[in-house]
């Protein structure tokens, strides 16, 4: 979907356009918001934030004449900023101390050194590489299980597998990942 297609659809039917936007980019926005709020927010906080993002986007596309922008990049920026705002309000409300290494959140972690940030960013890539090396469906099972905190039964349903099979694959995949990480020098 291009910006001009979006604008045309908006003129035809705003409701249809909004629905199309959520269907097309809902998962993308959810993933970005989840990434920022997974430690401090509840499921309801995340959904609330996702709806803030879309309300903002609906509004911008209707009232902002300058619509020839890259939709996905624009949505990502709005999602990231909204999630960071929500993160700040949640952490100040809950008084949580949360790991954070995002450029936009440096003021929240004043004792965070640059070296550690670089290492962490690299660590993230290594971890994702090692998870990808496990191949499918194991890499998706692990990410959904331990990062997105989904239940085995939910993963099983979405991947057309049995609960038991998800559990077994999960156990074996984590053991293999552990080995891979140990070899890469990542261990306790």
Partner 1 sequence: MKDRNIFDILGNAEDDSMERLTEKCPDITDEQIEKIIAMSEKKYNAKKKEILKDRTEKDNYINMTENDTVEGVERVHRPVWLTPLATAASLVLVAGVVLGSMAMFRKNKTGKIDTGVIEPAVTATTTQVSGTTQISTDKNGSTITTTVTTTSLSKTTGKADGTGAAGGASGSAASENEEIKALAGQWKYQESQYDFIPGSITEKGTVVINEDGTYSYNGTNETGTVKIGVEKMGGSSLKTVSFYNGSSYSFGGYYQNNEWISIGNGGISRLVRGSKADTSKDAEYISYQNTAKSLIEKYYDTHYQIMFRFPQYRNMNDTITFNLRDPNLEAGIRDVTYARITGKGLELNSKADVENYARKVYSDSLAAKELEYLNDDYVVISDTYKNGDHIDETGVALEDLLAFKNFIFYKGNMYVNTSSVQAGWLGYTSANEPIIISNVTSTSFRAYAPGIWGENNMGCDIVDFVFEPSVNGWRINNLQPENYSVYGENLPGLDS
The residues in 70-89 that bind partner 1, with binding defined as CB under 8 A, are: 76
CA pair distance 1, 24, nearest whole angstrom: 9
Rg (CA), the chain: 20
Q: Which is nearer to partner 1, 9 or 155 (CB)?
A: 155
Query: What is the closest distance, in whole angstroms, from the C-beta atom of residue 120 to partner 1 in the complex?
Result: 7
- Determine, following the binding rule CB under 8 A, whether residue 24 of this chain makes contact with partner 1: no
Out of 8, 31, 118, 162, the only residue in the binding site for partner 1 (CB under 8 A) is 31
- The DSSP element (H or E) to which 33 belongs, if any, is helix 14-37
Instruction: Single out the residue of 71, 62, 83, 69 nearest to residue 7, CA to CA.
Output: 62
Q: Which is nearer to partner 1, 76 or 161 (CB)?
A: 76
Query: What is the closest distance, in whole angstroms, from the C-beta atom of residue 23 to partner 1 in the complex?
Result: 6
10 Å Cβ neighbour count for 161? Answer: 17
Q: Which is nearer to partner 1, 8 or 27 (CB)?
A: 27
Out of 7, 112, 150, 165, the only residue in the binding site for partner 1 (CB under 8 A) is 150
CA pair distance 139, 181, nearest whole angstrom: 14
Per-residue binding string, partner 1, 86-125, x by CB under 8 A, is ----------x-xxxxx--x--------------xx-xxx
10 Å Cβ neighbour count for 141? Answer: 25
């Amino acid at each position: 979907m291009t910006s001009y297609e979006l604008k045309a659809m908006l003129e035809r039917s705003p409701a249809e356009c909004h629905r199309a936007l959520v269907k097309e980019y809902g998962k993308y926005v959810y993933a970005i918001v989840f990434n920022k709020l997974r430690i401090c927010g509840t499921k309801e906080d995340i959904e609330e934030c996702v709806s803030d993002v879309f309300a903002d986007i609906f509004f911008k596309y209707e009232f902002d004449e300058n619509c020839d922008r890259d939709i996905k990049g624009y949505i990502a920026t709005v999602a990231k900023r909204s999630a960071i705002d929500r993160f700040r309000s949640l952490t100040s409300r809950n008084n949580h101390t949360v790991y954070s290494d995002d450029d936009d959140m440096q003021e929240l972690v004043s004792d965070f050194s640059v070296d550690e940030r670089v290492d962490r960013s690299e660590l993230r890539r290594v971890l994702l590489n090692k998870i990808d090396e496990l191949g499918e469906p194991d890499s998706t099972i692990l990410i959904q299980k331990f990062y997105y905190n989904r239940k085995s039964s939910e993963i099983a349903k979405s991947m057309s597998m049995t609960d038991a099979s998800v559990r077994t694959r999960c156990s074996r995949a984590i053991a293999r990942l552990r080995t891979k990480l140990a070899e890469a020098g990542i261990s306790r």
